[in-house]
């Protein structure tokens, strides 16, 4: 009798579990069947009235029904939860092709970028990175570099003079002098910076541009060492082996002085309009530091030797990125700057 009731009770509950439409309905079934005052609890009260042998058998049945219902309920609840999670995730569909919110990352000026590369290269080689003023004294810009007044080399550098008698530095070379004044030899330094020449501006000329100066003073510094560093630098800048050649060049603050040419990157040395068919482009002016320059900075040229070089950073940037008009660099035009 009780056995039948239990089986009916179980079947009815199972039927309702199957029919449940939500976690709430399922919970209602659970309370009704398995709750403290639920049907199964009621039935268990009947158990006490049964004879002992009956009681054990029906008791086992009761437990089996209870376990069956609990498991079914649990399984069904999991189904509901999974369904709910699935719906939520589906509802969270997001179009990842939409643009990310502003602001976008900005852009470093191309000169900053190339300059940083060269600074890092030389820092790794033990060179200090020095700086000097943009407004210079005539002494540092010319005299101390072995360019006395009325030296024809002053003509080559059209100078912006200031009404106070100072000038805008025409090259980064005065930082050599400031470096030697500040540090005693041995000394290894580079000095990138802004320089000025009083020139009409066109696609290939600017009155404001950038150079990198370099200098090494030590007990033994030779042309062979200079060539070593120049090759190292050119290869690092262009990230490949570039053919270079050294030929005589005249700069009053070095002796001997050189121009370093490298193979034209456009034609690889075959000759093209960019290199005036020569296959070579001028890259670096360099040489061994003139003893007058060392002496003027208080360094004994019989004890110390040095090399110095100057590199057109602006020119290098233009070559690196294929920029055909120098004026963009100082234009502040974002149509240009956003490309870097």
Cβ–Cβ under 8 Å, residues 191 and 129: yes
Closest to another protein by CB, 81 or 333: 333
* Residue from 8, 22, 63, 222 binding another protein (CB under 8 A): 222
Considering the rule CB under 8 A, would residue 128 count as an interface residue with another protein?
yes
Instruction: Answer whether 205's CB lies under 8 Å from 199's CB.
Output: yes
Contact between residue 130 and residue 190 where contact means Cβ atoms under 8 Å apart: yes
- Given the complex with another protein, which of 52 and 332 has the nearer CB atom? 332
**Does position 235 bind another protein by CB under 8 A?**
no
DSSP-derived pairing of the beta strands 135-136 and 167-168: antiparallel
Site for another protein in 42-81 (CB under 8 A): none
Looking at the Cβ atoms of 38 and 179, the one nearer to another protein is: 179
99 lines the binding site for another protein (CB under 8 A): no
* Closer residue to another protein (CB): 52 or 106: 106
State how beta strands 244-248 and 208-218 pair: unpaired
Single residue of 52, 99, 106, 322 touching another protein by CB under 8 A: 106
Residue 218 CB, shortest distance to another protein, in Å, is 5
Residues 138 and 229: their CA atoms lie apart, in Å, by 30
DSSP strand pairing (135-136 vs 128-129): unpaired
- The answer to the question of residue 23 lying near another protein (CB under 8 A) is no
Work out whether 205 is an interface residue with another protein (CB under 8 A): no
139: enclosing H helix or E strand: helix 138-141
Q: Is 213 exposed, middle or buried (0-12, 13-18, 19+ CB in 10 A)?
A: buried
Sole window of 9-17, 47-55, 78-86, 152-160 interacting with another protein (rule: CB under 8 A): 152-160
Spell out where 219-336 has E strands: 244-248, 254-263, 280-289, 305-312
Q: Minimum Å distance from CB 262 to another protein?
A: 14
**CB closer to another protein, 136 vs 213:** 136
Which residues between 258 and 317 bind another protein (CB under 8 A)?
Answer: 258-259, 276, 288, 290-291, 305
Q: Which is nearer to another protein, 35 or 133 (CB)?
A: 133
- DSSP string computed for 56-88: HHHHHHHHHHHHHHHHHHHHHHHHHHHHHHHHH
Q: Are 248 and 223 within 8 A, CB to CB?
A: no
Find the binder of another protein among 5, 44, 72, 137 (CB under 8 A).
Answer: 137
Size of the site for another protein (CB under 8 A): 86
Residue 139 engages another protein in binding (rule: CB under 8 A): no
């Amino acid at each position: 009798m009780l056995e039948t009731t239990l089986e009916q009770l179980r079947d009815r509950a199972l039927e309702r579990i199957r029919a449940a439409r939500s976690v709430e309905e399922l919970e209602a079934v659970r309370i009704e069947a398995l709750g403290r005052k639920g049907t199964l609890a009621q039935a268990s009260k009947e158990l006490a009235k049964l004879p002992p042998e009956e009681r054990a058998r029906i008791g086992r049945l009761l437990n089996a029904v209870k376990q069956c219902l609990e498991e079914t309920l649990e399984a069904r609840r999991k189904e509901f939860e999974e369904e709910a999670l699935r719906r939520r995730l589906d509802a969270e569909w997001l179009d990842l092709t939409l643009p990310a919110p502003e602001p976008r990352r900005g852009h470093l000026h191309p000169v900053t970028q190339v300059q940083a590369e060269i600074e890092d290269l030389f820092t790794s080689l033990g060179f200090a990175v020095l700086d000097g003023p943009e407004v210079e004294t005539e002494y540092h810009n010319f005299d101390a570099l072995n360019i006395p007044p009325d030296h024809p080399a002053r003509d080559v550098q059209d100078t912006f003079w200031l009404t106070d008698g100072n000038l805008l530095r025409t090259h980064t070379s005065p930082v050599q002098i400031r470096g030697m004044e500040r540090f005693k030899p041995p000394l290894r330094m580079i000095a990138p910076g802004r320089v000025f020449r009083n020139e009409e501006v066109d696609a290939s000329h600017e009155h404001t541009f950038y150079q990198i100066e370099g200098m090494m003073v030590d007990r033994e510094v030779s042309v062979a060492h200079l060539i070593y560093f120049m090759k190292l630098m050119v290869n690092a800048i262009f990230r490949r082996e570039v053919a270079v050649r050294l030929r005589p060049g005249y700069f009053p603050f070095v002796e001997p002085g050189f121009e370093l040419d490298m193979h034209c990157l456009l034609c690889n040395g075959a000759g093209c309009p960019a290199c005036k068919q020569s296959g070579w482009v001028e890259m670096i002016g360099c040489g061994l530091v003139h003893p007058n320059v060392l002496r003027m900075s208080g360094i004994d040229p019989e004890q110390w030797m040095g090399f110095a070089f100057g590199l057109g950073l602006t020119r290098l940037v233009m070559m690196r990125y294929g920029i055909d008009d120098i004026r963009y660099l100082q234009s502040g035009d974002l149509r240009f700057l956003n490309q870097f």
